[in-house]
Amino acid sequence: MNSNNSAPPAGAARPGSRLAARLGAGLARLPRTLPTALAAALVLAGCSLAPVYERPAVETPAAFKELDPAAAARWQAATPAEHQHRGQWWKVFADDTLDALEVQALAANQDLQAAAARLTQARALEGSARADRLPQVNASFGPTRQRASPASQGLEHDASVSPQTLWRAQADIAYEVDLFGRVASSVEAATAGTEQQEALFRSVLLALQADVAQAYFEIRALDAEQALYRGTVDLRSEALRLIERRFEAGDIGELDVARARTELASAQSESLGIARRRAIAEHALATLLGKSPAEFSLPPQPLSRVAVAVPPGLPSSLLERRPDIAAAERAMAAANARIGIARAAFFPRLSLTGALGYESAELGDLFDWSSRTFLLGPLAGGILSLPLFDGGRRQAELDRSRAAYEEDVARYRQTVLNAFREVEDNLAALRIIGDQTRAQDEAVSAAERAARLSQLQYREGATSYFEVIDADRSVLQQRRLAVQLDSERARAAVGLIRALGGGWEAPPAALASAQR
């Protein structure tokens, strides 16, 4: 007989049995080798391809140009604590009504609520990005009904194959090994995005507080103008009555009466115009407080002169204190991380998948020990994937990411320049308004003296009533300019605090709860 057809000697293994033995040995070693492979993969994980992020340098002046030289040394020494929240900076004005309005705006302003919601969304996106660092586990249960083809079973093409129902209860596990830092860059970008939204929330908060303060001071300034015109109307009404009596007595002509009536009507018209502007300003303040105009009313109270010295610190402190600058810087960090995501797309992705559970043709046998089953590897595709050709899509995305980063760099530097300009504008305003107010006070005193002299001369018949009217107009104009300067001083003080990034006190409880 041919030796090839002879039976193998005793003790020798058949080729099929040797293959089965190797497979069994491989499966037996799998639980020991799998952790080693996973450990090696984890060592490679997190190798980020994002460029090393550094905040771009910006030129910072040694001192503010418009700072009053006499106070420069004292103000520069008052360097703020950048690590603290901005706090209730409006309390420097010592106005209880303003304090109450700021609290109402913090609790009910809808723009602030929208900013808080955007911050919550950013935190949720960050949590979603961090979830990609962990395995994803899902459980499933249910039957499948299938009929295999005769060819797949090694049968004749016309063989009869019965349908089969399989019941499955299993847990699926999927995990992407972050070989080239795609997931890490995504988390970094999401974290920077959250920090950007936190800074934008503080920026909206600071803008709201400043808008409320400026709207409040505008209303108080209009109240002061209204009080000024109310007194003017009373004085001109009294003057008209006196002139009418003198006209009736034949001491003066009708021209003086007509002029007096004209000046009275003009003052009444101006008073009504101020009332209209005040109503509009009050409606705007109500909106900032989250109320409809019908729900809000602010009693009249003339503006008092604001004398607040705001220490601006050094120009370099703006880079840390201004929330809009912080937001622009965090936008750069997020854009830098997205470059790493775009770079990682050029490299392979390693995804580990598996399933473990039970499979049985009968529901009653599903959870028998003999029904257990497992699967390592994806149901379709491969564990390691690398796109070979995409028509330049990945390169285009990388170019877009780099250009987006350059755009954010330019926006950051422009934000810094705007911050310096806003501080300089308000410093110049406060300094010049201080000098202008002193000159205006002298103008008011001189106009009032001229008005008294003209009235004396008119009573003595040494001058015409036209001179009295002209002097009276000058007094009204100079007083109104003084009130407007007081209003501009208050708004400039608020504007400087806003330009510097706020005050230096601890945050109120309402702000802390809103940020959570």
Supply the pLDDT for residue 114.
Answer: 95
> Cα separation of 289 and 287, whole Å?
5
Token couple for 239 = 């003057």
Supply the pLDDT for residue 144.
Answer: 86
Quickly state the pLDDT bin for 262 (edges 50, 70, 90).
very high
pLDDT in tens, 85-96: 557 889 889 899
Q: What is the DSSP-derived secondary structure letter of residue 93?
A: G
Regarding the domain delimited by 60-135+181-321+414-515, which CATH topology (the fold level of the hierarchy) does it fall under? Outer membrane efflux proteins (OEP) (1.20.1600)
Supply the pLDDT for residue 422.
Answer: 92
Q: Is the pLDDT of residue 5 over 70?
A: no
Quickly state the pLDDT bin for 10 (edges 50, 70, 90).
very low
Q: Is the pLDDT of residue 512 over 50?
A: no
Quickly state the pLDDT bin for 382 (edges 50, 70, 90).
low
Supply the pLDDT for residue 69.
Answer: 61
Q: Which residue has the higher pLDDT, 20 or 39?
A: 39
> Cα separation of 478 and 441, whole Å?
8
Supply the pLDDT for residue 127.
Answer: 92
Tell me which residue has tokens 């390691």: 384
Mean pLDDT of 263-286: 94
pLDDT in tens, 425-478: 999 998 899 899 999 999 999 998 998 998 888 788 777 777 888 888 888 899
**Degrees to nearest 5, angle at CA 25 with 23 and 30:** 95
Asked if 154 contacts 146 with a C-beta cutoff of 8 angstroms, the reply is: no
Helix, strand or coil, per DSSP, at residue 455: helix
Helix axes 254-288, 465-500, angle to 10 degrees: 10
Q: Is the pLDDT of residue 32 over 80?
A: no
Quickly state the pLDDT bin for 190 (edges 50, 70, 90).
very high
Share of the chain above pLDDT 70, in %: 83
Q: Give the number of residues written for the chain.
A: 516
Quickly state the pLDDT bin for 384 (edges 50, 70, 90).
confident
